[in-house]
Amino acid sequence: MFNKKRGSRPGAEVNSGSMADIAFLLLIFFLVTTTIASDKGIPVMLPPKVETEDIKIKERNIFNILVNSSDMLLVEEELMDIKQLKKAAKKFITNRGQDPESSESPGQAVISLKTDRGTSYEQYVAVRDILQLAYNELRAEHVNLSLSDFLKMSDDLKDSESKEKYDKAKDEYPVMISDAEPSDVGGE
């Protein structure tokens, strides 16, 4: 069967003793060189902490929004779809004392946003975005610009005319959104 002309040689073997060392070094290399993308939150400028007494705000100047753990909105004690929120917020902010149940002026209008601990992050962000959009639209209308032109202007405030217009709109419609402490699911 076999023709043995010369002595039998063992087959070539790969030394696997250092394979574990090589795998470990590769793992360390990839851990060191890989960048981990960090999630970014919502940029919110917090006011400095001031030790003062509670500020009294008239109930009519507070626009209450509650988001439950099922992501449903209760706006001023009425169930509301998120698509209707912007219009309702703009109406509240621009009331200027006409409706005795609504805000006295845009500078006194406070939007109170309260969530349950079970509220999804996506719903919270969607509500915040809609409220910010409502303020931006009101500001743009106040200085007779389209929303896109106003947002472009707010990104580039180098010339004095743009800065003056932006400050005028900001003074007329200050963003006053209060994030209330979340309540536990199913209760206060």
As for how many domains the chain has, the answer is 1
- Please give the residue range of the domain that contains residue 100: 59-179
Q: Which tokens is 42 given? A: 């919502």
Q: Is residue 43 part of a domain?
A: no
* pTM listed for this prediction: 0.69
pLDDT of 136 strictly over 80: yes
Please give the Cα distance from 140 to 85 (Å, whole number).
Answer: 19
Q: Is residue 129 part of a domain?
A: yes
Q: Is residue 166 part of a domain?
A: yes
Model confidence at 64, in pLDDT bands (50, 70, 90)? Answer: very high
Q: Is residue 155 part of a domain?
A: yes
By DSSP bridging, strand 177-179 and strand 110-115 are parallel
Model confidence at 3, in pLDDT bands (50, 70, 90)? Answer: low
* pLDDT for the residue 188: 44
CB 182: neighbour CB atoms within 10 A?
15
Q: Is residue 148 part of a domain?
A: yes
Q: Is residue 91 part of a domain?
A: yes
Q: Is residue 6 part of a domain?
A: no
Sequence-distant (6+) residues with CB within 8 A of 60 are 100, 101, 102, 103, 104
Average pLDDT over residues 118-127: 91
* pLDDT for the residue 75: 92
Tell me if 50 sits within 8 A of 112, measured CB to CB: no
pLDDT of 186 strictly over 70: no
Please give the Cα distance from 98 to 111 (Å, whole number).
Answer: 18
3 state DSSP class of 33: helix
Q: Is residue 19 part of a domain?
A: no
Please give the Cα distance from 131 to 20 (Å, whole number).
Answer: 56
Please give the Cα distance from 120 to 68 (Å, whole number).
Answer: 9
Please give the Cα distance from 164 to 128 (Å, whole number).
Answer: 26
Average pLDDT over residues 119-131: 92
